[in-house]
Every structure is written in structure tokens, then in C-alpha cells.
Amino acid sequence: MRKPIFTAAALSAIVAAALIVSAQAQDGKGKGDGKGKGDGKGKGAPPAGQAIVKIKDGFYEVTGAGGNTSVRVTKDGLIVVDTKNLGEANYNDLMAQIKTVSTLPVKYVVITHVHQDHSGNTKSFEDAGAKVIANEGEKAELATYTAPAGKPAEPNVTYGKKTTIKLGGVKAEVYHFSRAHTGGDSVVYFPDLKIVAGGDAIVNGAPNIDFPNGGSAVEWPKLIAGTLKLDFDTLIPGHGNVMTKADVQAYKGKWDLLVSRAQAEVKKGTPKDKLLASIKTDDIGWNVTGAQWTPPARLDPFYAELSKAKK
């Protein structure tokens, strides 16, 4: 059974194609040519629940059990972005998926942000010998972060604005463009393949601004603008289907509209308790009156930063 190779034109349907995902999850044959595209020693079928999808030669996405995970295979080991929900079973399942395409060790892991559905298995990768990299903001947020599943471990490597990973002739550039979903968001760029892993700062669907963990609506468009300056054609979002650069441009357009309209409402004196209902979003397709927006811990800082930005 061959794993399909997807063109840029078909990227938006990759994850949604359930039959393809199922076939790949059971393939377990691994692929590679000894040139950084896998070692050709993949093993057996992985457990159900997660599924690995080939995006381009040497690059895979693992869906399920939390946020999307990216896997870059090089001749000297693997670079992984995000680690699934916290838990030994989730880590073991993720590694089983990865081993279907390469049995080389994971040398580097990048955590895109603090939430445990992306950072959950930091410790397991560190215990296995990987360098786990995150923005210094992600490490700071862990001090007060709480989740029912528990608190993830701290990364063993942090950076400020940019850091670069070099492994097996492959380069990965890690950027913190601005606060957005949280205060420590990372965007990971693989220039040779023109692929970006965006974490939850770039997703399909309505965003979630985690103000308690440093998020910002006003700064969020800056992150997207920084990402759009990169030369890419494919983006792995934190959740949902693979995106094209045009999809990301459209996402930024929605953010620009949301922020400008919210600022206009504040400027004309719309009270805080009426703000969300007053913002026009029917043409954007986002619901800003739901539980992720209305609690005081979200609404108060949203109104405060809009008020500050309008001055």
C-alpha cells in the first residue's frame, strides 16, 4: 500500500480524507531514500487514535490526541513540533506513529505554546534525550499554568525572538513574532520544504485568546504578518486541516477586521458589557460571544488592550 503524495492544490483536503488517513495508519512500512526522507525501517501498525499523514517527502503530520504534531525526518534524526495531550499512553502512541516512517531518534522538539494538548509530553521527550525548545514566555507561563490533566514539564532550551535548528543537512527556524494565542507562541519554519507549523496562533476556525497566559488580540495580527513574510506554501495549524498561504492571508484579513471593528466600538464609547455583541462578525464566521470570550478573565483584558491601543 503506497502513501499518497499530496500536491499544494490538494492540501486543504488532507486531514479530512478519513479513508486516506486510515490507510496510512495501517501501512506501517516507512519510506526513505537515505537522503533525509526517512530511514526506511518503519515498524508495524501503530495503535488507533492518532494517525500519521505524509505532507511532503520527509515531512509528516500526526493528528489526534491533542494538537497537530509535525515530524521532519533527516538523515541524522528527527525534529518534532508539539507533543500531544499529557500522558504516557499519548506519548507512546505518538512514538508508535513516528516509528512507522523512521526509527531514527527524536533529537529536537519545539513546543509552540504552553497548553498541555501541545506541550503535554515535554518530559517524556527530554527523558528520551531530546532538546525541547520553547519560547521563554512559554516557560514563564508554566509557573502558573493549570490544567485538569496536569502541568507539563519545562523545556530544557528557551529562546527570545528567534533560534535555528540544524540537523542532518536540514534547517528549522523558530520565531516568536509577537504575543497572540498566548504570550509565548512559536512559529516553526522549514525553508527547504516551504512548510510552517503555526501552533494555535494560526488555526482553522475561530481563535481562542488566552489572556491569562499572556495572549493578545491586538498583537495577534503581528504574528500572522511575520509568518506571511516567510516563503512557504503549506502550513500545519494547531488544529484542523492543512492550510495554504492563501488560507493564512485570509485568516489575517479576519483578524484585521475583528480588531479594527472592536477598536472602533471602544472608541465610540460602547460599554464593556455590550462590546462583544456589538462587533460585526457574520462576514468573518467567528463567534465572539461564547465561553472563550465572555468570562471576566477574557473580556476585561480584551477591553483594556483595545482601550489602550485606541489612544
Per-residue pLDDT tens over the stretch 11-38 = 443 433 333 333 333 333 333 333 333 4
What percent of the chain has pLDDT above 70? 84
With beta carbons less than 8 A apart as the criterion, state whether 217 and 302 touch: yes
> Residue range 208-217: average pLDDT?
96
Q: Is the pLDDT of residue 158 over 60?
A: yes
DSSP E strands: which ranges in the chain? 51-56, 59-63, 69-74, 77-81, 106-110, 131-135, 157-159, 162-167, 170-175, 187-190, 195-199, 234-237
Grid cell in block for residue 69? 504534531
In this predicted structure, what is the pLDDT of residue 204?
86
Lowest mean pLDDT among 37-46, 104-113, 156-165, 207-216: 37-46
> Residue range 240-246: average pLDDT?
97
| Angle formed by the axes of helices 220-228 and 245-267, nearest 10° | 150
Per-residue exposure over 39-52, b if at least 16 CB sit within 10 Å of its own CB, e if not: beebeeebeebbbb
> Residue range 160-183: average pLDDT?
98
- Encode pLDDT of 141-152 as tens digits: 999 999 999 999
In this predicted structure, what is the pLDDT of residue 14?
40
Q: Is the pLDDT of residue 237 over 90?
A: yes
Task: List residues bridging with 135 in a β-sheet.
Answer: 159
Q: Is the pLDDT of residue 309 over 80?
A: no
Grid cell in block for residue 253? 484579513
Q: Is the pLDDT of residue 311 over 60?
A: no
Task: List residues bridging with 70 in a β-sheet.
Answer: 61, 81
Mean pLDDT of the chain: 88
CA–CA gap between residue 94 and residue 82 (Å, rounded) = 10
Helices (H), 153-244: 220-228
Q: Is the pLDDT of residue 118 over 60?
A: yes
Q: Confidence class of residue 247 from pLDDT cuts 50, 70 and 90?
A: very high
- Taking alpha carbons only, the member of 132, 205, 215, 214 closest to residue 174 is 132
Q: Is the pLDDT of residue 58 over 80?
A: yes
In this predicted structure, what is the pLDDT of residue 170?
98
In this predicted structure, what is the pLDDT of residue 35?
36
Residue 230: how many other CB atoms lie within 10 Å: 18
150 phi and psi angles, rounded to 5 deg: 120, 175
DSSP codes joined into one string, 8-52: GGGGGGTTT-HHHHHHHHHH------SSSS--S---SPPPTT-EE
In this predicted structure, what is the pLDDT of residue 47?
54
More confident residue, 274 or 33: 274
What percent of the chain has pLDDT above 90? 81
Largest CA distance in the chain: 64
CA–CA gap between residue 127 and residue 144 (Å, rounded) = 23
Domain 8-309 has CATH 3.20.80.10: no
| Angle formed by the axes of helices 245-267 and 296-309, nearest 10° | 80
CA–CA gap between residue 121 and residue 189 (Å, rounded) = 22
- Encode pLDDT of 59-113 as tens digits: 999 999 999 999 999 999 999 999 999 999 999 999 999 999 999 999 999 999 9
DSSP run (H or E) holding 298:
helix 296-309
Stated pTM of the model: 0.85
Q: Is the pLDDT of residue 298 over 70?
A: yes
